Structure 1
């Protein structure tokens, strides 16, 4: 077995000790088959090398464990230092010298150990600084790359959106805004649950003489369905670049958004603010009528899906402006010039008849506008007959106002259609020569070319 390397320090040789007579060493018993494997491994295991710091502490334990009945012998070192003996001799050094030597060894090894620890700490700190700086640099570079990628993606998306045709963007916005506003209005009015708007104090039937029955609000189902039809019509292939839709699309979006805000205000009890917003909505819808008159409907389908819904929306907004104004004034106890509600009701109906007649007299006659107003006035008539406050005079006046609106819009359409038929007849007969009653023979040959339309002279007789 190899022995640990002796220390380089020279120690004084111990005084010679006279040899003692030791009993004869009894050889260990031979390993039998019953000896455990662990004991055989322990006997054959070489001694592990000892660190340099513990050389002096382990040099004195160089003997190999032997059986309890065998004498302890000190093996001879393989390479003892010149001029001296090994530190692990059979006899120990004096106690004082041994302690002094250990103190010297500890003092000699203390300084290198502390320096090594400081070097390790400095190396660890340097590694931490390097790692933190690398992480900071990576984070900065990653953030910069992310910002650059986000900016480039935003620019690409914006450039992609800008490359879309404006008509496509408008149609998409009209679809989203109209459908979303209709759903929001239905939610605000309590159609999907919650407080129902028709239970509000503003819709009390006994609040004023111009308050209609609550069944009048059923017209909103027809208006909403018509607005959905308008959204569908604008997506037709032939309507992609229509100047009519280019103007009407933005107005319709603003109108449905204002109507949604109006429903929210009424639900929240902001009646005076809702009246102001109602006036803004009415002005906006009157402005849309200008575009409807400037670009008339080209087909009957366009008239049914565009003119009719917007006409109903305009007519109903005009009527509710009258009834809401009367309700708000009654709630606030407003009285000006006179306190008679009957006179104020007559003034309101007169204003509706005058403004409604002007609006219904535009273009070919706005029948849809007149029908929406007449619908609301009809429920005023019903409420004043069977409801409270009861007023047969107001019911008769309201019925007369509805009749005047229908007559005005119907007569306007009759006059326009009659003028159209006369213009078409003049255009068809513009190339025909005038009739010469003196010389019928010359004209017979010409009119014979049109037997289906004019017939022969003999047949005309």
Structure 2
């Protein structure tokens, strides 16, 4: 058993690490937006990450969700730094994992700026894995207050839901730009729809594993809606992919709603 003094020092260290990680993420985000001299993400990697690079790239308006995610991350950072959260057992379990997701978030932006597409894919897959592990911790240690739900669970849930979709878009961008043959374009619609089916399965599994949490579903659905908009009104145009994306968005949101309506949230959540 740690002494109370040692525990207090450990808790303060955790709070400082979370603050540092989120500050790093925000600075990297500002650099990635071109505010601090960096190149905007849509112009990086020869345009492979732009809104019209592939059939699974969301329209540019979709990326406004990052502002919401960053806002929640900042709010969480301030809240977890309060003295009342210092010795929270839930924060002891989730604080460092959340800090890791912030670092990986910032690392993706730096990878996009200075390295290669394949490294961005590796980084975002690591981020997705870290977010999945973090939400598992939160499911196993349920929130006791509305504040815990809002600042911790909703924050991680939105991040997870969006990164699930972003991982698909990032991987598709890499495959299209560097791996797939030129004949890929001829079957892009079919592949796009197939991948959207996989996204629905992943999002559905996430809803079941998290006991019907809405935040991941809403973030994923947001991205799917804007994939539909991008393919219906932008380039590369694809009405089949647009319709499939909109249907996928509806299904992704319906799964947790059905779980709530049928009272099956708790029994389908991850076992503690």
* Partner-residue secondary structure (3-state), 1:332: helix
Counterpart pick for 1:408 among 255, 260, 267? 255
Change in Cα spacing, 1:248 to 1:163, as seen in structure 2 (3 Å) is closer
1:388 Cα deviation (Å)? Answer: 1.5
Moved more, 331-340 or 190-199: 331-340
**1:113-170 deviation per Cα after TM superposition (whole angstroms, max 9, x unaligned):** xxxxxxxxxxxxxxxxxxxxxxxxxxxxxxxxxxxxxxxxxxxxxxxx9685211111
1:269 Cα deviation (Å)? Answer: 4.9
In structure 1, the gaps of 5 or more residues are: 1-160, 421-461
In structure 2, the gaps of 5 or more residues are: 268-272
1:407 Cα deviation (Å)? Answer: 0.4
Instruction: State whether structure 2 residue 244 is matched by structure 1 residue 397.
Output: yes
| Aligned Cα root-mean-square deviation (Å) | 2.4
Residue 166 of structure 2: aligned partner: 320
Instruction: State whether structure 2 residue 105 is matched by structure 1 residue 259.
Output: yes
1:267 & 1:287 partners in 2: Cα distance?
Answer: 27
Change in Cα spacing, 1:215 to 1:266, as seen in structure 2 (3 Å) is same
1:329 Cα deviation (Å)? Answer: 0.8
Which structure has the greater CA radius of gyration?
Answer: 1
Change in Cα spacing, 1:271 to 1:370, as seen in structure 2 (3 Å) is same
Residue 236 of structure 1: aligned partner: 82
User: Is the Cα–Cα contact under 8 Å of residues 189 and 263 in structure 1 kept in the other structure?
Assistant: no
1:419 Cα deviation (Å)? Answer: 7.9
1:223 & 1:358 partners in 2: Cα distance?
Answer: 22
Change in Cα spacing, 1:269 to 1:236, as seen in structure 2 (3 Å) is closer
Residue 270 of structure 2: aligned partner: none
Instruction: State whether structure 2 residue 138 is matched by structure 1 residue 292.
Output: yes
Q: If each structure's helix is expressed as a fraction of its own residues, which one has the higher value?
A: 2
Change in Cα spacing, 1:409 to 1:217, as seen in structure 2 (3 Å) is same
TM-score (norm 2): 0.88
2:93 & 2:265 partners in 1: Cα distance?
Answer: 30
2:29 & 2:91 partners in 1: Cα distance?
Answer: 24
The structure whose RCO (Cα within 8 Å, separation 6+) is larger is 2
Residue 386 of structure 1: aligned partner: 233
1:195 Cα deviation (Å)? Answer: 1.8
Residue 169 of structure 1: aligned partner: 13
Instruction: State whether structure 2 residue 128 is matched by structure 1 residue 282.
Output: yes
The within-5 A match list for 1:177-256 is 177-200=21-44, 201-256=47-102
* Partner-residue secondary structure (3-state), 1:225: helix
TM-score (norm 1): 0.53
Change in Cα spacing, 1:314 to 1:166, as seen in structure 2 (3 Å) is same
